[in-house]
Amino acid sequence: MQFQINPSEFLILIVDDTEANIRLLSHVLRDAGFSPIVAFNGTDAIELIRSRRPDLVLLDIMMPDMTGYDVCKIINDDEELRSTPIIFLSALSETSDKVEGFEVGGVDYITKPYQKDEVLARIKTHLSLNKLQKERDERIEILRSREIELRELNSKKDQLVRIVSHDIKNPLTGIVGLANLMRENPDLPQSEINNMLNVMEKSGKKLMDMVAKVLDEEGDSKHNESLKLSEEFLRDLAEKVISVNKPKAILKNISLELVEDIQKRKVLLDHTKIEIALNNLVSNALKFTLKDGLVQLVVKSDEKGITFMVKDNGIGISENIVPLLFDSEAGKKTISKLGTEGEIGTGLGLDVVKKYVNMHNGKVWVESEEKVGTTFFIKLPLKS
């Protein structure tokens, strides 16, 4: 079945060194509604194919400057032009001539003298086939683009799940631990119970708020990795991080402190991303600090920028691990260490910390000594 085509939409190039042949074939094509252009030699034909991009070429073989076979080879060696269908139209009638025509890239071969109806039928057939091929290629390209887009969206979704699950796991462990502690110790003073309940409630609310902000931001940004800047007090940001991680600190009897030296109190940041980064560092510090230890979130600001430090006196990090901490692939293969009370700690999320800090044009690094402690640094420039 041949698809219907509109001849006026197609440009056909006729290549022949005999003027009478070109005049006759041009007349046939115009009567059928096509728009022909002509070339009398191979050199001009190649130039016209490159400049005018005809939809089909009717190509003679025996020409003075180069043969039709040579023209076809040149066109088929050009990645941008090789999809142009070429029909040989020649007085050469030997089977070997026809075979050579197909071998160099021709789509059809018509022997002179030709029948008008046969030529038109073959032209329409190859135009239909070429049109279908182009539509197929376009659809394949669309599907390929959608596949890439879906892959990126799935990757982003997986990262979002990673971020949220990692950042809520440690605080939730603390909340659950405090609940179990109260259940197993019914004789605890009411004041201590009230304090624990208050910490659990505040931490839970901060967690809910953090998750909601992450999900809202991802929805609003339509999956674009961009900063959502807003002004907020640095102290409020730091207190949220402390509040979320307080239950775990209480459970391990670790002192979790906020230390600040903030000259410029309100700053322009993507607070959700920086909160995620800081929460990640604080929760990891709690994992790798022993009972009765100390974890500090230090916040400083001056005219040059903002510095966050997460300091602990925990078990430290070995020298061979430090260079891999912010590399997600290397980290997954190399880092496999439990926290001081069996908490799973794989370095998960530190690549996200680096990513979010880099998005703010900041720097993140770590200094650590085994059995002494670790300090993570985040340095951010002030935005105006």
Residue ranges per domain, the chain? 9-114, 150-380
Nearest CA-CA partner of 274 in 167, 384, 155, 140: 167
CA distances from 128 to 33, 81, 124, 134, 214 (A): 15, 18, 6, 10, 51
Residue 68 token pair: 């039709």
pLDDT at 3: 58
Superfamily of domain 150-380: Histidine kinase-like ATPase, C-terminal domain (3.30.565.10)
pLDDT at 266: 80
Q: CA 343, CA 286: separation in Å to the nearest integer?
A: 10
Alpha-helix residue ranges (DSSP H) falling in 224-270 = 234-251
Fold of the domain spanning 9-114: Rossmann fold (3.40.50)
Nearest CA-CA partner of 271 in 103, 383, 140, 104: 383
Strands (E), the chain: 11-15, 35-39, 56-59, 86-90, 108-111, 230-233, 255-262, 266-269, 294-302, 305-312, 337-338, 344-345, 363-369, 373-380
Cβ atoms 312, 293 nearer than 8 A: yes
| Beta-bridge partner residues of 377 | 309, 365
Residues of the chain with pLDDT under 50: 1, 221-223, 331, 333-334, 346-348
